[in-house]
Chains A and B, each alone.
Chain A
């Protein structure tokens, strides 16, 4: 049997934590051959990143500890090499790029210096390295390459920073590139570009790519084979297409089933008088126009999805509606009153009607309050909602309503998982008995399988209690199964606004079409067709 380029076998990694020893990776085996792309797919806590860190000798020990196994690279067991020998492999034979390029680039050195350093660290002469850096930066498509080399990381956009990271990683023409969630923080259109760049470069250099991701779409787009990990173990391995068509492990089936954008779309509601009417909202921060004449209508029990990339103004809009920020002009009529001009006393009364669920439940729940305190705070602030004698009973009811148990009321937020925390945040919003809930990226920080559950919960609340939702998201497929209407935003303006079916099946605007096309489908066949179409269009 031919030797694999990289062969991980029986790898186990432990971490010492406050809660005891955690077996982050347990007996994991996989291999990567020259020139191929292997994806490790898994949700948070699956151990996928830890496995990659072990290959690069990046695990901090302590608290980490490699408990067993071997990592053979090009015939040698990396775990038996000295630190200095591994240093010489890092960057030269195996390179790595990371999820968040802003924090992974050194903020106080120019990007040119950092790219050159990759080469000088492995003995390349400085002059030669400089010329090579210029070539690399040109190759990854940074405008004004010579000027770019003198700039610092914070002067680039997120997508450009990831391109620069790629340039840096490829400086020594490595045999293997490890990419740890390389496109997760990027907008969909930028994500598509970066992935395309990676594919091109792989074709040029013949390197192998090990990509770590939580996103089935990324796997479908780029991977030849996939390793599915869950709770520190490999549950399934195979050709990407075969795994998608015939998943053998229940976990893989669950993951594929949870991928958004596959269900039945909502039929439009019969129109009634809107509860919320927003017109001509404008907000500037200095020179920057965050919102430029935005408006929409919302009926009771309706869900409006507001979709856009970073800088589109969608989150600013949410902050305006809840008066966390004041607009420059515009009106928002709620039950005949303009939200934007309400005096404090009336605004206070109105808080009961309008509630918000934030993106990251880890941050939106005060870590020093119990679940009971978090939920009952609504009634401390608005004592007329509920007499104190009924608090305990009502908290139990609300917890049951969001799928938690009454005895959880005494716990603190950090004792729950991400999805459970978001349920607590939803219960807190429900405690106010609101008629409208604004969800600001409420599911984007959650794992795919949890995302589906939370959306299901929100949809049930809408049906059962007639709550209207403004659902803000950067990702189109997420809102497909849930929204009645979709509003696409770009640079502070509304690009397109229509029923969910119209926006997804017959988008009118080129930008909406571009957004839809850039989104990655979990089905490898669909992705392959789109890739061909893209290449054809490029020619």
Chain B
């Protein structure tokens, strides 16, 4: 009887190359990823690069309509009531918009995940307290919470991050807890217990890596949600205050000129929708790419196209 050990075992390409190949296979996701990359790059270099151009008033270019190169390439999307080129302003506003969303997602994801791990794996008492806390946050109309906190603390980038992070913690908490409750019953966790592994080792070495792909998918989706929430706050005049700008604030500022200069609100709004759309697309792609039972859809496609 031949030992099965002598059978060949397939070699697999590295994880990164695999992901790259799957991204290539889904052209929508690829475009979305490139767009998000562009936005992130602009968020990093934008203010340094175009701060001057974005704040320089130009009375001859007031409410300049778009699609004209009369004021240089920066004027291609038109200019606002003070003659500041919209393209430059949108690029400069990228940093605040992305910083707030990224900060809020990062904080809420880290805190929510930690609490979810504790609630899911530790005793029942701790879990119940944490869950009730999440209920309180969830039943709180999030805009209301934002308004109250921003009133007390004042509307700065950092405070916006704090407020938005608090309102999003329950999302990660619940997702993580539900996943942990399922994963902790799996055999390999039991096997680790039999070996005498400590709670922390089981949580961080065995459970967290399994839960992480789901959380990554949720976070990507949530990034889009938080961007929309920040835009809404800024639009209502409770979020970022001038002279700081975000895309949401730009839409609000353009509102009064809508009938004479539609482009003031339309372009920043388009920036928001394109970014959130990209994030949603990426999240959908991640969900498939990180799921071993769904992955074939992408890998098959890649082969056929390539």
State if A and B touch, Cβ cutoff 8 Å.
Answer: yes
Which residues on A are within 8 Å of B, measured CB to CB?
16-20, 62-63, 254, 322, 324, 347-348, 351-352, 354-356, 358-360, 363-368, 377-378, 380-382, 403-405, 408, 411-412, 414-417, 419-420, 423, 425, 428, 432, 449-450, 452-453
The distance from the CB of A409 to the nearest CB of chain B, in whole angstroms, is: 12
Question: Per-residue 0/1 for B272-306: is the Cβ within 8 Å of any A Cβ (1 yes, 0 no)?
Answer: 00000000000000000000100110011001000
Q: Least Cβ distance of A255 to chain B in Å? A: 11
Q: Which of B1, B187, B292, B300 contacts A453 (CB 8 A)?
A: B1
A416 contact set on B, CB distance < 8 A = 9
In contact, A453 and B192 (Cβ under 8 angstroms): no
- Which residues of chain B are near A414, meaning CB under 8 Å? 292
- Collect the chain A residues with CB atoms within 8 Å of residue B210's CB: 366-368
Task: List, sorted by A's number, 16 A–B pairs whose CB atoms are closer than 8 Å.
Answer: A18-B299, A19-B10, A63-B296, A254-B1, A324-B190, A347-B196, A351-B194, A351-B195, A365-B191, A366-B188, A377-B195, A408-B9, A412-B12, A414-B292, A417-B7, A453-B3
Closest to A364 in B: B187
Given contacts A368-B209, A423-B5, are A363 and B12 in contact (CB under 8 A)? Answer: no
B4 on the interface (CB 8 Å rule)?
Answer: yes
Nearest 5 pairs between A and B by C-beta? A351-B196, A364-B187, A363-B187, A366-B188, A18-B299
Q: Does B206 contact A (CB under 8 A)?
A: yes
B38-87 contacts to A (CB < 8 Å): none
Q: Given A18-B296, A428-B191, check contact A415 B1 (CB 8 Å).
A: no
List of A residues within 8 angstroms of B196 by Cβ: 347-348, 351-352, 381-382
Q: Which of the residues B9, B209, B296 comes within 8 Å of A411, measured between beta carbons?
A: B9
Contact flags B140-176 to A (C-beta < 8 A → 1, else 0): 0000000000000000000000000000000000000
- B27 on interface, CB distance cutoff 8 Å: no
Residue contact B300 to A356, C-beta cutoff 8 Å: no
Check: B124 CB closer than 8 A to any chain A CB: no
A365 touches B188 (CB 8 A): yes
Counted as pairs of residues, one from A and one from B, with CB atoms less than 8 Å apart, the total is 99
Interface centre among A18, A381, A411 (most CB of B within 10 A): A18
**Interfacial chain A residues near B4, Cβ < 8 Å:** 403, 417, 419-420, 450, 453
Chain A residues near B133 (CB-CB < 8 A): none
**Option from A368, A381, A452 in Cβ contact (under 8 Å) with B197:** A381
Q: Apart from A366-B209, A381-B196, what are 20 other A-B pairs with CB-CB below 8 Å?
A: A16-B296, A17-B296, A17-B300, A18-B300, A63-B296, A347-B196, A355-B194, A364-B190, A365-B191, A366-B188, A366-B206, A367-B188, A381-B195, A381-B201, A403-B4, A405-B5, A414-B292, A423-B5, A450-B4, A453-B3
Chain B interface residue count: which class? Answer: 20 to 34
Chain B: CB-nearest residue to A352 = B196
Task: Chain B residues near A450: list those with CB within 8 A.
Answer: 4
CA distance A17 to B299 in the complex (A): 8
Task: Kindly list chain B residues whose C-beta atoms are within 8 Å of the C-beta of A360.
Answer: 187
Residue of B nearest to A423 (CB): B5
B199 CB to closest chain A CB (Å) equals 11
Contact partners of A404 in chain B: CB under 8 A: 5
Inter-chain contact B193/A324, CB cutoff 8 Å: yes
| CB of A375 to closest CB in B, whole Å | 11
Report the minimum CB–CB distance from A384 to chain B (whole Å).
12
Closest A-chain residue to B201, C-beta based? Answer: A381
State whether B296 touches A378 (Cβ < 8 A).
Answer: no
B209 cross-chain contacts in A, Cβ below 8 A: 366, 368
Smallest CB–CB gap between A416 and chain B, Å? 6
Contacts of A378 in B (CB 8 A): 195
Chain A contacts for B9, CB-based, 8 A: 408, 411, 415-416, 420
Alpha-carbon separation in the docked complex, A322 to B205 (Å): 21
Q: Which residue of B lies closest to A62 (CB)?
A: B300
Do B5 and A364 touch across chains, with their CB atoms under 8 A apart? no
Measured CB to CB, the closest approach of chain B to A418, in angstroms, equals 9
The residue of chain B having its C-beta at the shortest distance from the C-beta of A400 within the complex is B5
A254 and B10 alpha carbons, distance in the complex (Å): 25
A422 to B23, CA, bound (A): 34
Q: Tell me the complex Cα distance, A19–B12, Å.
A: 9
In the complex, chain B residues whose CB is within 8 Å of the CB of A420: 4-5, 7, 9
B260 to chain A minimum Cβ distance, whole angstroms, is: 54
Interface centre among B3, B210, B295 (most CB of A within 10 A): B3
Digit string of B1-28 for contact with A (CB within 8 Å is 1, else 0)?
1011101011010000000000000000
Least Cβ–Cβ distance between B70 and chain A, in angstroms: 54
Residues in B neighbouring A347, C-beta threshold 8 A: 196
Q: Given the complex, which residues of A lie within 8 Å of B5, measured CB to CB? A: 403-405, 408, 420, 423
- Cβ–Cβ contact A322 & B194, under 8 A: yes
Distance between Cα atoms of A402 and B126 in the complex (Å): 43
CB neighbours (8 Å) of B201 from chain A are: 380-381
**When chains A and B are docked, how far (Å) is the Cα of A368 from the Cα of B3?**
26
Cβ B300 vs Cβ A364 within 8 A = no
A17 contact set on B, CB distance < 8 A: 296, 300
A19–B292 Cα distance when bound, in Å, is: 12
| Chain A residue at minimal CB-CB distance from B300 | A16
B5 CB to closest chain A CB (Å) equals: 5
List B contacts of A16 (CB < 8 A): 296, 300
Chain B residue at smallest Cβ distance from A419: B4
- Of chain B, the residue at the smallest CB distance from A412 is B12
Closest to B197 in A: A381
Give Cα A347–Cα B194 distance, bound, in whole angstroms: 10
Cβ of B194 and Cβ of A356 under 8 Å apart?
Answer: yes
CA distance A377 to B206 in the complex (A): 11
Chain B residues near A356 (CB, 8 Å)? 190-191, 194
Contacting residues of chain B (174-216) with chain A, CB-CB under 8 angstroms:
186-188, 190-198, 201, 205-206, 209-210
Question: Which B residues are in CB contact (< 8 Å) with A405?
Answer: 5
Task: Specify which chain B residues have a CB less than 8 angstroms from the CB of A423 in the assembled complex.
Answer: 5
In the complex, what residues of B have CB within 8 A of residue A322's CB? Answer: 194
